[in-house]
Amino acid sequence: MSTIISVPPQLLLERILTLEIVRVTERAAVSAARLRGHGQEKAADQAAVDAMRRELNRIPIEGTVVIGEGERDEAPMLFIGEKVGINAGPKVDIAVDPLEGTTLCAKNMPGAIATMAMAEGGTLLHAPDVYMQKIAIGPGYDKHLIDIDATPEENIRRVAKAKGVPMSAITALVLDRARHAELIAAIRKTGASVRLITDGDVAGVIHTADPDNTGVDIYIGTGGAPEGVLAAAALRCIGGQMYTRLILDTHEKRNRAESMGVADPNKIYAIEDMAQGDCLFAATGVTDGSLLSGVKFRKDNVIQTETVVMRSVTGTVRYIKADHRQLDKFHLD
């Protein structure tokens, strides 16, 4: 008899938690969306953090934030090491980015999301808030097709060949940054198309999982390490390949990483090195984006949200559209 469960049952996260984390990202997204387009990155971020923390503290978990808003002294809430949950239930690691794309939200541009991942305790990479080199493709390719140390040309060539299309039919998603000038030129030289985003590479990486709909075949470039771990948690659920490397270019960063358990500063992380075991991932749209619709404030106080939630052990991906009617009445956000 075959079974889809590949880890011992005692290590599974209870599936009921799937819905619980949807509430968390929904509330964070609604709170941030109230400040959408107001040009206030910090205020929107803080609103998302407050809402996310309040909701996390209602969940029956013994959670530890491993990817959070920063070190305890710089982040009063959702700091790395903070305990969340009702302190009863499974021990879990929590990764959060309550408002991923603060600038997108402040400018009401596409692609801001509220996002989090939950995994068995001790199974998420404890990554410091440094840059991370990343390369990712979606599911359905041979193992190790892409190589973080190969040239962009080589990676594009391999993906095109595996897909059975010319390189000119490949689209690479890249963060629009000066540091990526050479990378962008190298990709364009192959004939491939570069789609630039100003922010938001958690969603960016997730785009690779569904090239037929998103038009994105590969993600390449350097972004935040916390965002890398969140994206890895998502790809762990939907499949795909992702390789990353922390950019630890100063003593201070190397020491910080070491104190968080990073023994080899040059280590290449695959998805399973960043998110092992069973994990859940959720993201709710704050502004409209190509992955998710943003929060809509309708008449009669109806608030609509769209969330994607994934569970690694089964690979289930759900899109949940919700109408919230009582948020103001119960002062819940």
Q: Which residues line the annotated binding site for Mn(2+)?
A: 45, 69, 97, 100, 227
DSSP state of 275: B
Q: Which does 333 bind (CB under 5 to 8 A by kind): Mg ion, ligand VTB, none?
A: none
128 binds ligand VTB (CB under 6 A): no
Among 110, 138, 152, 200, binds ligand VTB (CB under 6 A): 200
Task: Lay out the site mask for ligand VTB across 225-264 (x = CB under 6 A, - = otherwise).
Answer: --x-------------------------------------
Rounded CA-CA distance 136/313 in Å is 21
Which residues are CB-neighbours of 164 under 8 A, at least 6 positions away? none
Among 138, 152, 211, 223, binds ligand VTB (CB under 6 A): 223
Q: Which does 278 bind (CB under 5 to 8 A by kind): Mg ion, ligand VTB, none?
A: none
101 binds ligand VTB (CB under 6 A): yes
Tell which positions 89-128 bind Mg ion, by CB under 5 A: 97, 100
3-state secondary structure of 70: coil
Of 75-83, 223-231, 241-249, 310-318, which part binds ligand VTB (CB under 6 A)? 223-231
The CA-atom distances, in angstroms, between 110 and each of 136, 207, 292 are: 21, 14, 9
82 binds ligand VTB (CB under 6 A): no
Tell which positions 135-154 bind Mg ion, by CB under 5 A: none
Which residue lies nearer to ligand VTB by CB, 133 or 307? 133
**What burial class does residue 195 get, using C-beta atoms within 10 Å of its C-beta: 0-12 exposed, 13-18 middle, 19+ buried?**
middle
Residues facing 311 on adjacent strands: 280, 316
Among 20, 82, 100, 306, binds ligand VTB (CB under 6 A): 100
Residues facing 217 on adjacent strands: none
**What burial class does residue 81 get, using C-beta atoms within 10 Å of its C-beta: 0-12 exposed, 13-18 middle, 19+ buried?**
exposed
Of 4-12, 50-58, 222-230, 320-328, which part binds ligand VTB (CB under 6 A)? 222-230
199 binds ligand VTB (CB under 6 A): yes
Expressed in percent and rounded to 5, the helix, strand and coil fractions of the chain are: 35, 25, 40
201 binds Mg ion (CB under 5 A): no
Q: Which helix (H) or strand (E) holds 216?
A: none
45 binds ligand VTB (CB under 6 A): no
201 binds ligand VTB (CB under 6 A): yes
Q: Annotated binding residues, as ranges?
A: 45, 69, 97, 100-102, 131, 177-179, 199-201, 224, 227
The CA-atom distances, in angstroms, between 93 and each of 128, 256, 308, 314 are: 15, 19, 20, 19
CB of 272 to ligand VTB, least distance (A): 21
Residue with the two structure tokens 């068995």: 120
**In 10 A of CB 76, how many CB atoms?**
13
**In 10 A of CB 87, how many CB atoms?**
11
Q: Where along the sequence are the contacts to ligand VTB (CB under 6 A)?
A: 100-101, 177, 199-202, 223-224, 227
Q: Where along the sequence are the contacts to Mg ion (CB under 5 A)?
A: 97, 100
